[in-house]
């Protein structure tokens, strides 16, 4: 245990010691602290974090019970502090508590269920969040791993793929980086035996596995020299591929894979638990071009670095930015404006959105539990009257007040315990539901499970809940019992209980407002993303990918002919209205960019835009809207002057008022500019939540691309036509795998997935809080009305109109609700700022959401007030007065 951790533990223990009465604390506190630290050190040394948790749980129990007992034991030295908590006593307390619950099954079930809902929500969210925020990544010393991204603030590029040549310079020059590996994904057609199969490859530098601190389970790692052109092909298999393709046969080692027609010898096989960061490859193969020989302007790879001992992410970031500035000077043509961003591997893999969502959801479930506790406290308080009588009898029979409180607290712990067990069960289903709903784009490095820490957390939470909702009612009830003995219960109890109940109502209303605002904002954000203008028609659109290999498609002519034939055959299918191809379809996750200058504006420096290579019919297939000029056309042949279409953001950001149809793009110095012939409406390309970026569309007839997406616009359900499309492709070449099958609607749904999960969860929690809040308000008002039966009866007997009584009660309750509402709106305004990253297109202080929540809550509160008030107004004055 570090000295810092120990100092912190001492501080917390001193807080816990406050449970004891001051004389006891003064006399023994210092020695107790000494004992505690000794125990904690021992537990940490033996069982690490689990040991520490156990020690804290035990200590919490020790201080809680010991403290309460020592305080109540004033003057009755005979009743021992812990002696009274011997197993025998605990057993009898438990028996009594069970009997008390059993006697009022509806009350007991309501309380247990309420707690279970709160605990279950917390357990399920915590199970997921724990993995995101705390579980170690499956690599050696994972905190030293950082992921590096390129950035070019001048061009508005962030989190961009890196250029391997630059990355290799970072590796050589930055002292805070111990080592750095470059990797990128590449798909191969595997044709060794049987059916041709598409294989997901990860091109890595040979130090990739050493940087991660992992090694193959069988065979060897890549050798330092095994990179670049002309070397013999070697490959390391991932466990899943080994199982699928070789049935885990050890002979796989040393065998040869034919990837895109090239032989690769299998030299290693990775262990089952290895995951390649956010990639899901089948094989690892070395780069076929040494990073230092790569073209600096090509940003297509990712870099992972291991920090040198003692280096920090921020320090590395500073040093790398320095190196990037040197490279800008050395390579002004390619590196101007480019700098580096370093992010810890965990932060990068979790991502800002999931991170913020985790925190927001944890706060939300915390609030749900708070509301559940408040409701149970309310229930217990409302029962104080009847229990008070019981406790009075018990006191009369010789039970001390401490015993009575202990008895009541045992009941609370019992209810919380039952609720906790039930909640843990609910949480198990809950977390599995959340995990199942997580978008498939989540990196596979996270493993979710309800393990020891989750159970411990739940136990701790349950205990805290029991103390929270049990203490005040227990103390009140016992006091009432005592008063009952003295004066038959006509003292000021009801006023006090009422005041406490009112405070609870204010808290509940405020919390419900916060949760409803959070849920409402997210719902609006998701609805906005779903209904936004994508710039194309997402319905009835089938997507597939095809990668014709270099053999036999070895030149652009052969490739062009292949793709033309595919498009033509598919277009002729019945039920197909249009078909087009592109190197990357919208939302397909492509990051292809183009650096260029605008002809006549070279002085403004280099510009960058997303580039999409489109076949003639792509625009028609996707339903792009041309706002000026013309779309790409088949008339723009390979021999004709090159042309391009750009989007509206391109025009507004780069052309500064110039007529786009007179502008040209200079991609390579000395070459003729690419003429802009048309402008299309912005299309959602990269993500459903991103802002539009400048984009250029170039004709595939003028620049051939090998692997493409085939997009098919259908009359009916797009997936129904897939077999026909496959047959059409195979009629051109029967050996080609058709992969990456998707529909655009499905893709959009998945892209919204992460946001939708957060949104639905927040929605559920908000509704839960509304329900709990309504029940709470109803409960408190009904209880207050019950307490005032006699007074109301008197008023009515004196001639008050029942409607006056209703109005009076509404006014009194309404003031509390209003107070809670205003407090909640203020709190929500303060807290919603934390949601900026997960809100898209909605301000965190969106007035519409705030107003709707206020309205809904006002309506619910009014109903919760009105129902019991009306019943109270119907009281028969004679009976009400007679009861007194």
Partner 1 sequence: MADGKHLKAHWFHILLSVADRDLHGAAIMEEVLDRTDGEIRLWPGMLYGSLKQLVSRGLIREVEAPEGSPTEGGRRRFYGITARGRAALHREVRRLERFVRVARAKRLGEERG
Interface positions with partner 1 (CB under 8 A) = 20, 24, 28, 30-36, 38-39, 42, 58-59, 61-63, 65-67, 69-70, 77, 80-83, 86
C-alpha 502/C-alpha 698 separation (Å) is: 68
**Which CB atom, from 61 or from 730, has the smaller least distance to partner 1?**
61
Q: How far is the CB of 60 from partner 1 (least distance, A)?
A: 10
**Which CB atom, from 87 or from 225, has the smaller least distance to partner 1?**
87
**Which CB atom, from 37 or from 96, has the smaller least distance to partner 1?**
37
Q: How far is the CB of 48 from partner 1 (least distance, A)?
A: 16
**Closest listed residue to residue 312, CA positions, set 320, 323, 302:** 320
**Which CB atom, from 79 or from 104, has the smaller least distance to partner 1?**
79
Q: Please say whether the beta carbons of 593 and 157 come within 8 A.
A: yes
**Closest listed residue to residue 407, CA positions, set 110, 99, 81:** 99
**Which CB atom, from 59 or from 339, has the smaller least distance to partner 1?**
59
Q: How far is the CB of 823 from partner 1 (least distance, A)?
A: 38
E-only strand ranges, 102-193? 145-152, 157-160, 177-190
Q: How far is the CB of 469 from partner 1 (least distance, A)?
A: 23
Q: How far is the CB of 88 from partner 1 (least distance, A)?
A: 10
**Cα separation values, 794 from 337, 489, 490, 798, Å:** 83, 20, 17, 6
Q: How far is the CB of 458 from partner 1 (least distance, A)?
A: 22
Q: How far is the CB of 809 from partner 1 (least distance, A)?
A: 47
User: To 5 degrees, how large is the angle CA 435–CA 436–CA 441?
Assistant: 80
Q: How far is the CB of 75 from partner 1 (least distance, A)?
A: 13
**Closest listed residue to residue 558, CA positions, set 710, 728, 732:** 732
In DSSP notation, 363-415 reads HHHHHHHHHHHHHHHHHHHHTHHHHHHHHHHHHHTT--HHHHHHHHHHHHHHH
Q: Please say whether the beta carbons of 70 and 16 come within 8 A.
A: no
Q: How far is the CB of 65 from partner 1 (least distance, A)?
A: 8
C-alpha 485/C-alpha 395 separation (Å) is: 8
Scored b (16 or more CB within 10 A) or e, 203-237 reads: bbbbbbbbbbebebebbebbeeebbbeeeebbbbb
Radius of gyration of the chain measured on its C-alpha atoms: 35
**Which CB atom, from 81 or from 119, has the smaller least distance to partner 1?**
81
* Coil, strand or helix at 172: helix
Only one residue has tokens 């597939």, namely 544
**Which CB atom, from 16 or from 342, has the smaller least distance to partner 1?**
16
**Which CB atom, from 87 or from 397, has the smaller least distance to partner 1?**
87
Cβ contacts of residue 600 below 8 Å, gap of 6+? 663, 664
Q: How far is the CB of 405 from partner 1 (least distance, A)?
A: 17
Q: How far is the CB of 36 from partner 1 (least distance, A)?
A: 5
Q: Please say whether the beta carbons of 141 and 346 come within 8 A.
A: no
C-alpha 389/C-alpha 368 separation (Å) is: 33
**Which CB atom, from 80 or from 658, has the smaller least distance to partner 1?**
80
Cα-Cα-Cα-Cα torsion 107, 111, 116, 121, nearest 10 degrees, comes to: 130
C-alpha 477/C-alpha 384 separation (Å) is: 5
Q: Please say whether the beta carbons of 101 and 363 come within 8 A.
A: no
Would you give the DSSP letter of residue 143? G
Q: How far is the CB of 22 from partner 1 (least distance, A)?
A: 14
User: To 5 degrees, how large is the angle CA 70–CA 76–CA 78?
Assistant: 95
**Which CB atom, from 64 or from 498, has the smaller least distance to partner 1?**
64
Would you give the DSSP letter of residue 725? H
**Which CB atom, from 34 or from 272, has the smaller least distance to partner 1?**
34
C-alpha 651/C-alpha 48 separation (Å) is: 59
Q: How far is the CB of 96 from partner 1 (least distance, A)?
A: 21
**Which CB atom, from 25 or from 262, has the smaller least distance to partner 1?**
25
**Which CB atom, from 73 or from 718, has the smaller least distance to partner 1?**
73
**Cα separation values, 640 from 438, 615, 633, 803, Å:** 48, 15, 12, 87
C-alpha 511/C-alpha 517 separation (Å) is: 10
**Which CB atom, from 57 or from 96, has the smaller least distance to partner 1?**
57
Q: How far is the CB of 342 from partner 1 (least distance, A)?
A: 44
**Which CB atom, from 1 or from 794, has the smaller least distance to partner 1?**
1
Q: Please say whether the beta carbons of 77 and 27 come within 8 A.
A: no
Q: Please say whether the beta carbons of 351 and 832 come within 8 A.
A: no
**Which CB atom, from 64 or from 315, has the smaller least distance to partner 1?**
64
**Closest listed residue to residue 870, CA positions, set 779, 781, 771, 780:** 781
Would you give the DSSP letter of residue 277? T
C-alpha 766/C-alpha 84 separation (Å) is: 43
CA 456 to chain centre: 22
Q: How far is the CB of 68 from partner 1 (least distance, A)?
A: 10
Q: How far is the CB of 6 from partner 1 (least distance, A)?
A: 14
Q: Please say whether the beta carbons of 766 and 853 come within 8 A.
A: no
Q: Please say whether the beta carbons of 747 and 587 come within 8 A.
A: yes
**Which CB atom, from 32 or from 416, has the smaller least distance to partner 1?**
32
Q: How far is the CB of 12 from partner 1 (least distance, A)?
A: 14
**Which CB atom, from 89 or from 421, has the smaller least distance to partner 1?**
89
Only one residue has tokens 């016992």, namely 478
Q: How far is the CB of 17 from partner 1 (least distance, A)?
A: 9
């Amino acid at each position: 245990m570090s000295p810092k951790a120990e100092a912190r533990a001492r501080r917390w223990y001193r807080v816990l010691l406050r449970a004891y009465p001051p004389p006891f604390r003064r006399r023994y506190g210092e020695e107790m602290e000494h004992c505690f630290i000794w125990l904690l050190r021992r537990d940490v040394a033996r069982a690490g974090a689990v040991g520490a948790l156990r020690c804290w749980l035990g200590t919490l129990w020790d201080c809680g019970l010991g403290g309460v007992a020592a305080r109540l034991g004033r003057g009755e030295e005979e009743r021992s502090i812990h002696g009274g908590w011997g197993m025998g006593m605990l057993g009898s307390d438990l028996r009594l508590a069970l009997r008390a619950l059993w006697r009022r099954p509806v009350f007991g079930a309501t309380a247990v269920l309420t707690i279970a809902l709160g605990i279950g929500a917390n357990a399920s969210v915590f199970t997921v969040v724990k993995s995101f925020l705390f579980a170690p990544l499956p690599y050696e010393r994972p905190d030293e791993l950082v992921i590096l991204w390129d950035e070019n603030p001048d061009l508005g590029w962030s989190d961009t793929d890196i250029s391997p040549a630059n990355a290799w310079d970072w590796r050589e020059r930055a002292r805070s980086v111990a080592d750095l590996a470059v990797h990128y994904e590449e798909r191969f057609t595997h044709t060794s035996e049987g059916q041709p199969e598409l294989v997901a490859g990860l091109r890595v530098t040979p130090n990739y596995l050493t940087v991660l601190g992992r090694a193959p389970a069988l065979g060897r790692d890549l050798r330092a020299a095994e990179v670049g052109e002309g070397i013999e092909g070697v490959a390391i298999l991932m466990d899943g591929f080994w199982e699928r393709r070789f049935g885990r046969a050890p002979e796989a080692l040393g065998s040869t894979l034919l990837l895109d027609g090239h032989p690769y010898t299998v030299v290693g096989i990775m262990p089952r638990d290895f995951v390649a960061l956010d990639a899901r490859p089948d094989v690892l193969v070395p780069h076929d071009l040494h990073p230092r020989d790569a073209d600096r302007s090509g940003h297509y790879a990712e870099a992972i670095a291991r920090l040198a001992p003692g280096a920090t992410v921020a320090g590395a970031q500073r040093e790398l930015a320095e190196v990037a500035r040197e490279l800008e000077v050395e390579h002004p043509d390619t590196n101007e404006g480019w700098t580096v961003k370093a992010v810890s591997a965990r932060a990068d893999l979790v991502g800002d959105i999931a991170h913020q969502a985790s925190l927001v959801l944890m706060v939300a479930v915390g609030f749900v539990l708070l509301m559940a506790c408040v409701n149970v406290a309310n229930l217990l308080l409302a029962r104080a009257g009847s229990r008070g009588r019981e406790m009075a009898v018990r006191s009369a029979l010789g039970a001390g007040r401490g015993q009575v409180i202990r008895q009541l607290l045992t009941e609370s712990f019992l209810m919380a315990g039952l609720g906790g067990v039930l909640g843990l069960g609910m949480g198990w289903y809950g977390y599995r539901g959340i995990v199942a709903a997580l978008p498939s784009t989540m990196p596979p490095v996270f493993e979710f499970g309800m393990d020891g820490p989750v159970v411990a957390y739940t136990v701790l939470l349950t205990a805290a809940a029991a103390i929270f909702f049990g203490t005040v009612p227990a103390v009140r009830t016992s006091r009432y019992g005592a008063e009952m003995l003295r004066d038959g219960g006509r003292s000021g109890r009801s006023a006090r209980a009422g005041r406490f109940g009112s405070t609870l109502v204010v808290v509940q209303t405020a919390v419900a407002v916060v949760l409803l605002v959070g849920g409402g904002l997210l719902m609006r954000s998701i609805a906005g993303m779903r209904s936004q203008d994508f710039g194309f028609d997402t319905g009835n659109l089938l997507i597939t990918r095809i990668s014709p290999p270099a053999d036999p498609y070895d030149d652009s002519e052969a490739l062009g002919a292949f793709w033309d034939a595919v498009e033509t055959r598919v277009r002729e299918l019945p039920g197909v209205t249009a078909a087009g191809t592109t190197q990357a379809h919208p939302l397909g996750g492509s990051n292809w960019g183009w650096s260029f200058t605008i002809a006549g504006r070279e002085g403004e420096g280099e510009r960058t835009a997303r580039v999409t290579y489109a076949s003639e019919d792509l625009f028609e297939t996707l339903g792009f809207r041309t706002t000026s000029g013309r779309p790409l056309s088949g008339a723009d042949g390979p021999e004709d002057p090159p042309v391009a279409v750009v989007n509206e953001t391109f025009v507004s950001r780069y052309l500064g008022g110039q007529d786009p149809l007179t502008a040209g793009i200079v991609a390579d110095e000395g070459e003729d500019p690419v003429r802009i012939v048309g402008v299309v409406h912005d299309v959602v390309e990269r993500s459903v939540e991103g802002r539009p970026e400048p984009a250029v569309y170039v004709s595939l007839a003028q620049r051939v691309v090998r692997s493409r997406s085939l997009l098919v616009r259908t009359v009916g359900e797009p997936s129904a036509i897939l077999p026909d499309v496959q047959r059409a492709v195979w009629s051109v070449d029967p050996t080609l795998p058709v992969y990456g099958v998707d529909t655009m609607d499905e893709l959009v749904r998945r892209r919204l997935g992460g946001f939708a999960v957060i949104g639905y969860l927040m929605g559920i929690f908000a509704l839960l809080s509304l329900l709990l809040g309504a029940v709470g308000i109803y409960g408190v008002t009904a209880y207050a009305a019950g307490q005032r039966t006699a007074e109301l009866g008197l008023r009515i007997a004196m001639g008050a109109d029942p409607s006056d009584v209703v109005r009076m009660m509404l006014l009194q309750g309404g003031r509390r609700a209003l107070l809670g509402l205003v407090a909640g709106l203020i709190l929500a305004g303060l807290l919603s700022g934390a949601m900026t990253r997960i809100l898209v297109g909605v301000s965190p202080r969106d007035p519409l959401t705030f107003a709707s929540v206020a309205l809904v809550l006002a309506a619910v509160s009014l109903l919760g007030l009105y129902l019991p008030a009306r019943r109270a107004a119907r009281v028969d004055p004679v009976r009400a007065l007679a009861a007194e």
